[in-house]
Structure formats: structure tokens, C-alpha cells
Amino acid sequence: MVGSVGNGSMDLREKEKVEPLPREFDPEEIVPPKPPLETEGAGGEEGSGKSREIVLGRNVHTMCFAIKEPEADDEVTGEREAYMASVLARYRRSLIDRTKHHLGYPYNLDFDYGALGQLQHFSINNLGDPFIESNYGVHSRQFEVGVLDWFARLWELEKNEYWGYITNCGTEGNLHGILVGREVFPDGILYASGESHYSIFKAARMYRMECLKVDTLASGEIDCTHFKASLLQNMERPAIVNVNIGTTVKGAVDDLDLVIKTLEENGFKDRFYIHCDGALFGLMMPFVKRAPKVTFKKPIGSASVSGHKFVGCPMPCGVQITRLKHINVLSSNVEYLASRDATIMGSRNGHAPIFLWYTLNRKGYRGFQKEVQKCLRNAHYLKDRLKEAGISVMLNELSSTVVFERPEDEEFVRQWQLACEGNIAHVVVMPNVTIDKLDSFLNELLRHRSCWYQKGNISPPCIAADIGEENCCCALHKR
């Protein structure tokens, strides 16, 4: 006979039945010697303003909230609950501060999903294919498919001709798109501009594909002259091409039409697969005048966008749309799938589709259009103010990513969470980045900058190679 099994019941009879832990197993050893509320500092560089060394393959415990085995009397004293509540309260305060001072990553931090708070009690999992029911009932496929339909419509692919799913992030969209391309053309060579997101090159390595890096123009766009030359050297193998709808660093938009023209005019007609990585701009571009249109009416194979970027979402997510016929190529190989699942991940976060559904429904096309226009206006404002102050700066026409000289002080960079590469930094103007926020950033930058370069022993870096001479304000290029 089995005893009481009420959840969370803690009566003594049940307690007595618990087997002792195996002898070799000392739960206390998990606890590091330091007090748990303190975060462990590995090295004193934190906050010192010095640039941090990046070491691959080292597990540096800069900060860590250690997990401590509960004491036997924790339930009585309530100390455990109090400890955890204090950690969380502190953490929440730091999140508020970090959210306020954020400029460098393309994440819209302005969202209110209060109405969805009640759903956090459920383990929502959209197992496998969004269009194939699973027996697991706690899912959100009905929201997911609504969101997918919306994107398929945005990119002009008929409802019965598309396949897609809500991914865990932009990278998953890219991994999926490149994989579909490889399945369509197993012998294809992957072409991607050097400014493509690193997940594209990761995919090539994972999938054991040959990958050719294509040069870029100063704007960050793919250089189709060099692309053509690369194609001509590999006439015998099909082309799988990553087209950037907004590069990570400069927000440059590859010229999709020119890429297609280059392929078709050089003997690759019907022998290419294009994946459009629209991580950020995939959702902004439709609302920008003069932007080359991403549409499945053109011969593209797949398009992806991130959900936590322009839309805004508590956790990373994304949308991947491809042609149904390509999924059939994947799916026909049952040995590959060993299942009914053409996604990368299998188990998938069922909350993300609801967040996206909620925002798309509330804002609609017109809401996004308004926000895109606000972002572009504010990005121009930032660029103009930086230029007035004599700081090297570039803003691509279709973009809200403002590229400028990397601030001298790493602490300043970290405070504003700027993304940097070499001598350049960028601010991505998202809907939560207001003129007020830009003004306080600008004021602080100018104040600090006058100190950095005051003595004249160091001067602002030349970034002409990154943003073009005409945008560079270094001693050499200043006019």
C-alpha cells in the first residue's frame, strides 16, 4: 500500500521513509566557501574601466549565485525564503537599471505583458511541428499558427504554400534556413558576406558545408562584384546564399534584387537557394520607403526574423518561414527525421508565440509602421548630434543602427551596453530609445570625451576603413 501522495505534504511519516543519500554524496560540498549572497568576483577588473581579456574555453566565474542545500529547519525558520527573496529583489533592481541604460543591442525593451502573467503557471510546450498535433495538450499552437500566418502574409507567401515555426532566436532561424538550403542542394556552396551574423559561419561548420566569404562595401552591404567573381570560380556547384536584411554591426541591407540578378545572369538560374536573415530589419523594412522588398514573390527560399528585437519579448525568440515544398524535401527523408519534426529544436517554448501574438494583435501593421518611423527619426537625431560634435559617425539610409567611434573608456561602453567591434561602436535605436535617453547619453559621452582627449596624448581613432572617409572625423580626415 502506498502512503499519502499529496503534493508538497511534508508529514513526518513520509519524511522517515526517505532513503539516506548515498554515502559518497555530500550535498554540502556543493556550497562554495564564500557567503552565498555575495557574487564571486574572479579578478578585480570588473568596473575598473580596463578592457577585459576575452578567453575562449575558460569558465571564469565572474559572478555566481551559488545554490545552497536547504537546512533541515529551513521550512520552519523561513530563512531560505528570505534569502532567495533578497537575492531576487536585488537582482530586479539591477535589471531595472540595466534596462534603463541600454543602447547597443537591437532589443525593444519597451513591452507590457502584464495580461499574460497568469500563463507563467503552465508548462507550455509546442513539441515539434506547429502544424502537426501532438498528444501533449498544454501547447499554444493556435497562437503560433496565427503569428506564422501573419508573417507569411507580410512576406507574401500563400497560406497553403508556406511552412514555418517560432524559433528560440535569430540563430535558430539561420541554422534552419541554411539547413533547408543544404538539403535542397546537398552539393551547394554557401556564400555569405563577411558582415553576416556569426551563426551563418557556425552553420557552415556544423553542417560541413564549404563556405565562401564575400567582400562588403563600406556601408556593410555585400559586394556583388566580388560575389560574381566567386560564383564564376565555382560554376559547377549550386549556390546557397545568405542575404542580410540588416547586418549586425552596421545595419546594412544587402541588395536582394542585385544578388538575384547576379545569380541569374551568371548561369545559376534554378540552381540557387537564398536565405534572408532579417533578424532585426525583417520586421522594420516593410515600413521603410525605398527599401528593397523581402517577398517570396522573388526566388528566395526562406526568411527569418527575431521576435525579441523589434517586437520585444521577455525571452529570445524568432520566426522562420520557408516554402512548404522545401520542407517536403526534408520530410521525404524519414530516416532523417525519425519523427514528424522538421524543426531544429523539438521541444519549443510555448510562451513566446503568445507574446508575439499579443503584440501583433495590439499594434498591427500601423502600430509597427509608426514605431519604425519613430526609430528612424530618432536615429537621425542621434547621428546629427554626433556629427555636430565632431564625432565620426555613419547611419545607413534604411537603418536605425548608428555606427560611431568606439568610446575610449570601457566602463562607459559597459554602462551604456554599447556593442563594439574594433574601433567602432553602435547604438541601435529601438522603440524604447527616446530622445530623452539619447540626450542623456550624448551629454554623458561629450562630457567624458572631453576628458579622454583633453591632454592630446591620445586622439580619437580613425575609422575611415569602417565607415568611409567621408564619415570619419579623425585628425587626418576632418575637413
Please give the residues from 344 up to 383 whose contact with a second copy meets the rule CB under 8 A.
344-352, 357-358, 360-367, 369-370, 373-374, 377-378, 380-381
Contact 339, 127 (CB under 8 A): no
Residues 324, 301: Cα–Cα separation, whole Å: 10
Please give the residues from 250 up to 279 whose contact with a second copy meets the rule CB under 8 A.
none
Minimum distance between the CB of residue 286 and a second copy, rounded to whole angstroms?
A: 7
Could you give the string, one character per residue 201-220, with x where binding to a second copy holds by CB under 8 A and - elsewhere?
A: xx--xxxx------------
Among 11, 32, 210, 476, binds a second copy (CB under 8 A): 32
Cell numbers describing residue 295: 517577398
DSSP structure string for 34-100: S-TTSPPPSSTTTTS-SPPPP-TT----SS-----PPPTTHHHH-HHHHHHHHHHHHHHHHHHHHHH
Please give the residues from 387 up to 416 whose contact with a second copy meets the rule CB under 8 A.
413-414
With binding defined as CB under 8 A, does residue 306 bind a second copy? yes
Selection from 320, 450, 415, 435 nearest residue 46 by Cα = 415
Cβ closest to a second copy, residue 160 vs residue 454: 160
Among 11, 51, 86, 138, binds a second copy (CB under 8 A): 138
Minimum distance between the CB of residue 109 and a second copy, rounded to whole angstroms?
A: 5
Please give the residues from 144 up to 183 whose contact with a second copy meets the rule CB under 8 A.
145-147, 149-150, 153, 159-160, 162-163, 168-172, 175, 179
CA dist 268 → 98, 190, 264, 277, 319 (Å): 48, 13, 5, 21, 28
Cβ closest to a second copy, residue 28 vs residue 475: 28
Residues 191, 343: Cα–Cα separation, whole Å: 23
Cβ closest to a second copy, residue 132 vs residue 235: 132
Minimum distance between the CB of residue 48 and a second copy, rounded to whole angstroms?
A: 13
With binding defined as CB under 8 A, does residue 49 bind a second copy? no
Cell numbers describing residue 141: 499552437
Please give the residues from 439 up to 468 whose contact with a second copy meets the rule CB under 8 A.
none
Exactly one of 219, 392, 399, 400 is catalytic; which is it?
399
Which of these ranges, 23-31, 236-244, 444-452, 461-469, lies near a second copy under the rule CB under 8 A?
A: 23-31
Amino acid at the residue 404 = F
Selection from 446, 471, 310, 463 nearest residue 395 by Cα = 471
Cβ closest to a second copy, residue 70 vs residue 267: 70
Question: Helices (DSSP H) in 101-250: which residue ranges?
Answer: 141-154, 170-184, 198-206, 224-232
Q: Is 230 tagged catalytic?
A: no
Please give the residues from 84 up to 113 whose contact with a second copy meets the rule CB under 8 A.
84-85, 88, 91-92, 94-95, 98-99, 101-102, 104-105, 107-113
Residues with Cβ within 8 Å of 260's Cβ and at least 6 positions away in sequence, in order, are 274, 298, 299
Cβ closest to a second copy, residue 195 vs residue 262: 195
How would you classify residue 440: left for phi > 0, otherwise alpha for psi between -120 and 50, otherwise beta?
alpha
Contact 167, 319 (CB under 8 A): yes
Q: Which amino acids are annotated catalytic?
A: 399
